[in-house]
């Protein structure tokens, strides 16, 4: 009878049921807040976020670009805008879309020749039999074309035709209202460092970072450079301090994979980014990251409570059972009773926090 009592007490039901149930509850609470967490290991990692790195366009900003100014050089404004629109015709990037929207005329694709997209630089194409470049300053420098740099805040597309600078197009983006709240709330939950990575010019990136209140910013980055910057930020972190990257574009997929936790935008984000990410914000609201961090920490707290409670009660009753001082009713409580209490405690993880 003593052996039977000892066997009943030692059954690990409380741990086997309550620990996974706590994580399921945390994932469910995150889902109620519009955040998809792809596994309990990612929920655990979210509780240990130390550094969070943001992409700019579409993540902290709305990605709703509008052409605000034209600076032609040797040609008219209408001709400059037409060249830019024709050059960007085959691109589906939001910046290209804004130029085509500003042009507002139907594009005659018969005027276009061979078009090549140069990653992180811009577009090289042929319009009316003449070579045209449209992109950032690096594209102009790569082609050896002297150009007049635009210092205004915003994204600038430089246009050149037949090796001669034709002018620049200034495109502005707006910061999401939620971005300010996101940084404030992340600081409140103990995130030590917030950083932004962007391919935009230094002036634009620093202006956005300062306005939002970020701790650091790296600008004029090519897609591959973002991985290098994340590697650099990961170096000083130990196993208990995690780095999260938040992005939405197809170019962000490698960085999302490399970070400890990859967070993607679910509404406007690319399929590649959503697939590569560990966490998906279904409504593209970066302020929800702080919410899911709080949920993750609450879940881990409940898991630890259940482990300590179950082991402590079982250890006490096991000693009594081994000494012959515990009967079957006490053994049943140490097994079923502790399991029920642990399950009820685990259910607290379902309660959402916002």
Supply the residues annotated as catalytic: 55
**Cα 147 from Cα 164, distance rounded (Å):** 8
The CA R_g of the chain, rounded to the nearest whole Å, is 28
**Cα 264 from Cα 109, distance rounded (Å):** 35
Strand, coil or helix: 216: strand
- Note whether 259 and 45 are within 8 A (CB): no
**Cα 92 from Cα 232, distance rounded (Å):** 31
- Note whether 183 and 284 are within 8 A (CB): no
Strand order of the β-sheet with 242-247 is 35-37, 279-281, 261-265, 242-247, 49-55, 193-197, 216-218
**Cα 111 from Cα 109, distance rounded (Å):** 5
Phi and psi dihedrals of 74, rounded to 5?
85, 0
- Note whether 310 and 334 are within 8 A (CB): no
What residues have CB less than 8 Å from 277, skipping those under 6 apart? 38, 256, 262, 263, 264
**Cα 62 from Cα 79, distance rounded (Å):** 29
**Cα 184 from Cα 190, distance rounded (Å):** 10
CA-nearest of 65, 89, 86, 94 to 166 is: 86
Q: Supply the DSSP string of 69-104, one letter for each residue.
A: EEEESSS-HHHHHHHHHHHTTT--SHHHHHHHHHH-
What residues have CB less than 8 Å from 23, skipping those under 6 apart? 40, 43, 44, 299, 303, 349
């Amino acid at each position: 009878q003593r052996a039977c009592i000892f066997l009943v007490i030692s059954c690990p039901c409380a741990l086997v049921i309550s620990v996974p149930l706590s994580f399921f509850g945390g994932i469910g609470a995150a889902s109620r807040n519009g955040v998809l967490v792809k596994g309990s290991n990612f929920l655990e990692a979210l509780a240990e976020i130390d550094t969070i790195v943001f992409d700019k366009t579409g993540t902290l900003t709305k990605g709703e670009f509008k052409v605000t100014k034209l600076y032609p050089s040797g040609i008219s404004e209408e001709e400059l805008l037409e060249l830019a629109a024709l050059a960007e015709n085959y691109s589906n990037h939001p910046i290209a879309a804004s130029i085509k929207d500003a042009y507002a005329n139907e594009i005659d694709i018969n005027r276009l020749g061979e078009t090549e997209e140069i990653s992180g630089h811009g577009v090289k194409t042929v319009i009316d039999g003449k070579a045209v470049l449209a992109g950032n300053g690096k594209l102009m420098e790569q082609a050896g074309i002297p150009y007049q740099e635009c210092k205004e805040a915003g994204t600038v597309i430089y246009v050149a035709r037949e090796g001669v600078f034709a002018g620049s197009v200034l495109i502005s983006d707006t910061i999401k209202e939620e971005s300010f709240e996101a940084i404030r709330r992340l600081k409140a939950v103990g995130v030590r460092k917030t950083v932004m990575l962007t391919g935009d010019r230094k002036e634009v990136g620093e202006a956005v970072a300062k306005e939002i209140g970020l701790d650091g910013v790296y600008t004029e980055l090519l897609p591959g450079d973002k991985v290098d910057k994340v590697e650099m930020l990961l170096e000083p972190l130990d196993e208990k301090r995690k780095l999260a990257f938040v992005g939405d574009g197809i170019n962000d997929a490698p960085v999302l994979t490399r970070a400890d936790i990859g967070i993607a935008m679910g509404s406007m984000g690319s399929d590649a980014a959503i697939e590569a990410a560990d966490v998906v914000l279904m409504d593209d609201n970066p302020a929800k990251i702080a919410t899911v961090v709080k949920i993750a920490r609450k879940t881990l707290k409940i898991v630890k409570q259940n482990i300590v409670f179950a082991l402590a009660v079982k250890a006490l009753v096991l000693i009594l059972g081994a000494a012959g001082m515990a009967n079957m009713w006490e053994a049943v409580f140490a097994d079923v009773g502790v399991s029920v209490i642990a399950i009820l405690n685990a259910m607290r993880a379902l309660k959402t926090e916002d």
